[in-house]
Structure 1
Amino acid sequence: MSENGSEDGSLHIVDVATGKDVDKVIPNVQYPTGGGSLAWREDGSGFWYTRYPGAKEPAERQHFYQQIYYHRVGDDPAKDVYVLGKDFPRVAEIALDARPGAPGVIASVANGDGGEFAHYLIARDGGIRQVTRFEDKVVAAALGPDGLYLISRQDAPRGKLLKLALDDLTLAKAQTIVPESDAALEPGGEFGAGNITLTRNAIYLREIVGGPSRVAIYGLDGKPRGQLQLPEVATVDEMTVMDDGSLLVAVKTYLEPPQFMRVDADSGRSKPTALRQTSPVSFGDVEVVREFATSKDGTRIPLNIVRRKGLKLDGSAPLLLNGYGGYNVSLVPRFLGAATRLWLDAGGVYVIANLRGGGEFGETWHTQGALTNKQNVFDDFAASAQYLVDKGYTSKERMAAIGGSNGGLLMGAVFTQHPELFRAVVSTVGIYDMLRVELDPNGAFNVTEFGTVKNPEQFQALYAYSPYHHVNGGAKYPAIFMATGETDGRVNPMHSRKMVARLQAATGSGRPVLLSINAHAGHGMGSSLSIRVNQMADIYAFLFDQLGMTSPLQ
């Protein structure tokens, strides 16, 4: 738990029957971006967890050097036993994965945010074995009762599935049981562990195909058994093995509330369950069409276009374009909810662009938008916007863009490079000074994704697109709404403050440049419902005003 969305968290062990703490609170277990993780011993007597050096250490160490400790329930946390991590990188990010019946716990260690991972097996008896190194290109690991399963990108940028025998965890002896296919096996969730689900007689692999996902089913020998039947454009969030061996699968789409399906352990057939969310809004008159823009270098960029059926492509509709493009994070189908329903009812169109830098098509798609290739992401977004204008979905005077965090960097880069492209831009918790970001505690984790000013080639690339350094006096910038949280540990609020000050002094368009700062919010995780609702109301009020829209609620 952390205060005011800071993600500077402490660990509470709570009796679910009484709601009271069982043990003393364990401090320093979580901090952005390294986060925090925990894995219970199967008998419930204790757990492995991650923690940071803490306030007694020098400031330059407090939010780095994450390590693994073991806590026995009932003991004083001061007696917790060190397990692993003193030799990990300064920017290590650890995820722990324990599964019923497995002979140990997997510790997956990320070397910052760039996509390199090492994997360790912590045996139930306390023995430790390093299985893979950062340079091995193994991006996920899952421990089953019959072996260790690995997603490898070695000579397979979209990923292949390897298997190691438990009595010999030498990577060179791994067997390829599922070769690379047309779909990507991406790291996701706890560094991809959730993308490999093992039942008593099958392997379920979550694959991503340009944004939407599918679930491929294999026997334990790797022989294909087909695919799980899912809606056409959907994503699978969770796959949980139940006590009877069946599988509970969480499915999300753009237009239907999240629901759970149950997969029979023997037949592999799925059926809906009564476990589903409800929504006060319906999208029966709405469709999602998938089209492709062509980027500057000829790359095809998927666009998920959410529109009311029968929309006339006459360029008159207000349109909101969303993008991210970084960290191997894929923008996948998610239920759009009431705010998007309001937008559509006001005549709007909503579009999600799957940009390079994400994981939608595998590691190559990611690396084409990372480090010195980052400009590709901005070119992809600009090309997407121009495509939507050319096809008659909207006009530049009726189009807005929105993005947050790395997507905020995207917003800053695009509106400084193409100030004429959008009428309005919403950018939340964004990074804008790419020459100083690595000086922040959390900025160090980003070096493997963005690069460093200490490398001459990477410095030139960073400076070439750094939004703050390309604000030009007198340029006719769009209307801009920025938002940040005072306790944001991922992106220093300084970025938003200095960027807004520079824009307010420079813009020649006469359009507003606004900044919203919340003293009780961070990067967005853990923000209260009231904070999120108020910010959403501010954003939509700004967009409706700038695009000349009338709320259907009036």
Structure 2
Amino acid sequence: MQQRLKPAVAALSLMLPLTSLAGAKGAVPPAPVAAKKAVADTYHGTKVDDPYQWLEKSDDPEVRKWVDGQTVHMRAVMDKLPSRDAIRARITTLLSHKSAAHYAMVQRGGVLFSMKFQPPRQQSMLVVLPSMDDTSSARVLVDPMVLDPSGHTTIDFYVPSLDGKKVAVSLSKDGTESGDITVYDVATGKPLPGEVVPRVNGGTAGGSLTWNADGTGFFYTRYPRGEERPAEDRDFFLQVYFHKLGTTTDKDTYELGKDAPRIANYDLKTSNDGSHVLAILGNGDGGEYALYLRGPSGTWTQLSKFEDKLISAAFGMDGALYALSRKDAPRGKLLRIPLATPALDKATVLIPEGQASIAGFRPTATRVYVVEQLGGPSRMRMVGLDGKEIGVVPTPPVSSVGTGVYLGGDDLLLGTSTYTEPPTLYRYGAKDGKLTKTALGRTSPVDTSNVVVDRVMCSSKDGTQVPLNILHTRGTKLNGNNPTLLTGYGGFNISLSPGFSPMNFAFIEQGGVVAIANLRGGAEFGEEWHANGSLTKKQNVFDDFYACAKLLVDQKWTKPERLAIQGGSNGGLLMGAALTQHPEMYRTVLAHVGIYDMLRVELTPNGQFNVTEYGTVKNPEHFQAMQAYSPYHQVKNGVKYPSVLFTSGENDPRVDPFHSRKMVARLQEATGSKRPVLLRTNNMGHGMGTPLDQEIEEEVDVYAFLFNELGMKYRPVNSKVPAPTSK
């Protein structure tokens, strides 16, 4: 699902006007009872009842009526919660902090490009940065708010030409991630007339683009258009085409992909001199890749197959391609492939597998910078092109570090982040080996000097040691009574590395404890760690999460009555499994844009891309494993379930909102407790592109609900100093 950790965020702007949500101070209208309809599917001789399958049809009037009723019920509950105005004021302060965020930076032709998020603007914009030390010098190239003042248009990605004179920008609306490319002239900031290429980006296979040597055209990912394929196939069969500037898109030429899997996705790159183009083909979302290289002759050559386990690659400055391999090296080894004789059998090992897992790398003039995963935190070390160790870049301890932006020679622009410090951007000078802070980082909207991060290990069901990061104010008492919020992800080779979240401090400053688990299924310890949390071993992820929750209780950080959990997307699936497998452990659950019906997920477009991660019901072994944990199917009548807030997006291209609808219907029917089960539906997507104001409104609901369910009396915060520790 092109795994994004950010949950869907948007305000209620659904089918009912706010004026129809009668009586916020009166009686709460009950949630509508979903009809049960006798439907069953049979898998490998096993009959599975599915009484709420009718809720899968988003455009069915009966479904819309039910969703409207859930919205009225949810809104009435939310609007009665205490301290909403104070909570809104605080969250607005935190998320509208005027310090700008710069990210997704690229330097081309001596021009430094960056995405810039500048609250209170609703969307990020694309800028040029003449100076890393003077943010006021930034020049706006593309501002989605100028294109669409409603705030519903977003930039999916951008790619400058090699000379930095043109930039291709993918723009999509309403959270759909269905992006068309517009080409802009960098000098003027104006779009080139007629240069719009449709359906380059999507919510299933993503999208990519790379320029040719002289900037006269670009290679791009192309979804089927018009009647080229049946409607059910138009989010699949991604191929690579070439577009020449000044020509219509019907003249674009096919390059690659006719023989690729139905669930193909691509990452495209051009060598520094423009002589070669690399296409990294992904087989769905499970981590299988094949590499293709286009040489100066214009011919594509396959460098590797899925079974060769090359997972990423980058062009060097020395006429070589550098590739990360996991073949017989689950933590990764770095290969060097000469472009003069581009073949896997010509590859040499530059960096053999080590104790740390290689997460990324950046070749420069005389060295390779390597980012290594250390179980969540990461570091950057340097290796010469001869394979000799140079040293470690002096980044902060227990931090995240990116692969950096190439500035020329062996110098980088490098970003780091910790749990208590917002992203900081440094210029790393290879000659003196020092990090020099630039003006491009963010300042913090809160004083975090009294917040401590403890990193502990939890023993999972099978004895595996699972890292848990615990954020709390200094001096927090282990009295078993601290309100605690535990989160995790555990999938798709995604590592939960240290990162600064203002919303964590919205909880901590109220005396809360935040815990972040590094579960199997991620990439924290390499491919073996990922594989042991995917396909038929997915249950390990849920066991890991429970072990983390149990440690928090056993060590008296908290107790089940004061423990909340939160997760989104694949982390939403984690929430569903957690609340059905151990309902006694949690007081409340915040489940964002999650997957809950594992037996029918692959009937959706993006769900088909997920089969290489989750498995398929067509395989008996996969079916058995998925049914055993599928949250929707594991809800039991009469069980006293925690309170739950489900959020979903009507335009979500990654996780169909029917998952949340079906799960809510089943839980409302089955629960033996009187705790609320709420559905909050917004009119956006999976979270990408949500306007800032809508993000704030959703977080207000989430945190008002969270504080109320955990019995936290909200204390208005008039300063940047966190609240006193829990007594």
In the alignment, which of 264, 273, 277 is matched to residue 92 of structure 1?
264
In the alignment, which of 281, 296, 303 is matched to residue 446 of structure 2?
281
Residue identity in the other structure for 2:200:
V
Contact 1:102 1:144 in 2 (8 A): no
- Measured after TM superposition, the shift of residue 89 of structure 1 is 0.6
Q: Match for residue 139 of structure 1? A: 311
- Measured after TM superposition, the shift of residue 536 of structure 1 is 1.0
Residue identity in the other structure for 2:179:
G
- Measured after TM superposition, the shift of residue 274 of structure 1 is 2.5
Distance 1:31 1:221 in 2: 41
Q: Does 1:51 align with 2:214?
A: no
- Measured after TM superposition, the shift of residue 444 of structure 1 is 0.5
Give the alignment of 1:425-444 within 5 angstroms. Answer: 425-444=589-608
Which segment drifts farther, 93-102 or 346-355?
A: 93-102
Q: Does 1:117 align with 2:289?
A: yes
Distance 1:113 1:518 in 2: 26
- Measured after TM superposition, the shift of residue 45 of structure 1 is 2.0
In the alignment, which of 313, 329, 339 is matched to residue 166 of structure 1?
339
Residue identity in the other structure for 1:206:
V
Identity across the alignment (%): 52
Distance 1:550 1:26 in 2: 53
SS at match of 1:2: strand
SS at match of 2:439: strand
SS at match of 1:181: coil
**Cα gap change, 1:374 to 1:274, in 2 (>3 Å):** same
Q: Match for residue 643 of structure 2? A: 479
Q: Match for residue 616 of structure 2? A: 452
- Measured after TM superposition, the shift of residue 279 of structure 1 is 2.4
- Measured after TM superposition, the shift of residue 181 of structure 1 is 0.7
The unaligned stretches of length 5 or more in structure 1 are: 187-194
Give CA-to-partner distance per residue, 1:85-128, whole Å, 9 cap, x none. 11111001101123433631211111011111001112355232
**Cα gap change, 1:553 to 1:123, in 2 (>3 Å):** farther
Distance 1:302 1:249 in 2: 26
Q: Does 1:12 align with 2:182?
A: yes
SS at match of 1:275: coil
- Measured after TM superposition, the shift of residue 130 of structure 1 is 1.1
- Measured after TM superposition, the shift of residue 487 of structure 1 is 0.3
**Cα gap change, 1:101 to 1:245, in 2 (>3 Å):** farther
Distance 1:245 1:362 in 2: 27
Q: Match for residue 330 of structure 1? A: 495
Which segment drifts farther, 428-437 or 40-49?
A: 40-49
In the alignment, which of 691, 697, 711 is matched to residue 528 of structure 1?
691
Q: Match for residue 76 of structure 1? A: 248
Distance 1:103 1:228 in 2: 32
Give CA-to-partner distance per residue, 1:445-467, whole Å, 9 cap, x none. 01110011111111100100000
- Measured after TM superposition, the shift of residue 129 of structure 1 is 1.5
Distance 2:177 2:232 in 1: 18
Distance 1:510 1:98 in 2: 58
**TM-score for both structures, normalised by structure 1:** 0.96
- Over the residues paired in the alignment, what is the CA RMSD in angstroms? 1.4
- Measured after TM superposition, the shift of residue 33 of structure 1 is 2.8
Contact 2:370 2:403 in 1 (8 A): no
Distance 1:168 1:18 in 2: 41
- Measured after TM superposition, the shift of residue 245 of structure 1 is 4.4
- Measured after TM superposition, the shift of residue 271 of structure 1 is 2.5
Q: Match for residue 29 of structure 1? A: 200
Distance 2:275 2:557 in 1: 55
Give the alignment of 1:176-255 within 5 angstroms. Answer: 176-186=349-359, 195-243=360-408, 245-255=410-420
Give CA-to-partner distance per residue, 1:327-380, whole Å, 9 cap, x none. 01111111122x222211110000110000000000000000000000000000
- Measured after TM superposition, the shift of residue 403 of structure 1 is 0.3
SS at match of 1:416: helix
Q: Match for residue 578 of structure 2? A: 414
SS at match of 1:430: coil
Which segment drifts farther, 144-153 or 94-103?
A: 94-103
Contact 2:272 2:315 in 1 (8 A): no
Q: Does 1:263 align with 2:434?
A: no
Distance 2:204 2:432 in 1: 41
SS at match of 2:696: helix
Contact 2:369 2:403 in 1 (8 A): no
Give the alignment of 1:302-317 within 5 angstroms. Answer: 302-317=467-482
Contact 2:361 2:403 in 1 (8 A): no
Contact 1:314 1:394 in 2 (8 A): yes
Contact 1:415 1:422 in 2 (8 A): yes
**TM-score for both structures, normalised by structure 2:** 0.73
- Measured after TM superposition, the shift of residue 172 of structure 1 is 2.0
Residue identity in the other structure for 1:174:
A
Residue identity in the other structure for 1:511:
R
SS at match of 1:163: strand
Q: Match for residue 47 of structure 2? A: none
Distance 1:547 1:278 in 2: 30
Distance 2:656 2:190 in 1: 35
Q: Match for residue 714 of structure 2? A: 551
Residue identity in the other structure for 1:45:
T
Contact 2:367 2:410 in 1 (8 A): no
Q: Which has the larger radius of gyration?
A: 2
Residue identity in the other structure for 1:312:
K
SS at match of 2:236: coil
SS at match of 2:402: strand
Contact 1:199 1:265 in 2 (8 A): no
**Cα gap change, 1:124 to 1:4, in 2 (>3 Å):** farther
Relative contact order: is structure 1 or structure 2 higher (C-alpha 8 Å, sep ≥ 6)?
A: 2
**Cα gap change, 1:102 to 1:157, in 2 (>3 Å):** farther
Q: Match for residue 399 of structure 1? A: 563
Distance 1:102 1:297 in 2: 50
Distance 1:551 1:98 in 2: 53
Residue identity in the other structure for 2:218:
F
Residues paired across the two proteins, number: 544
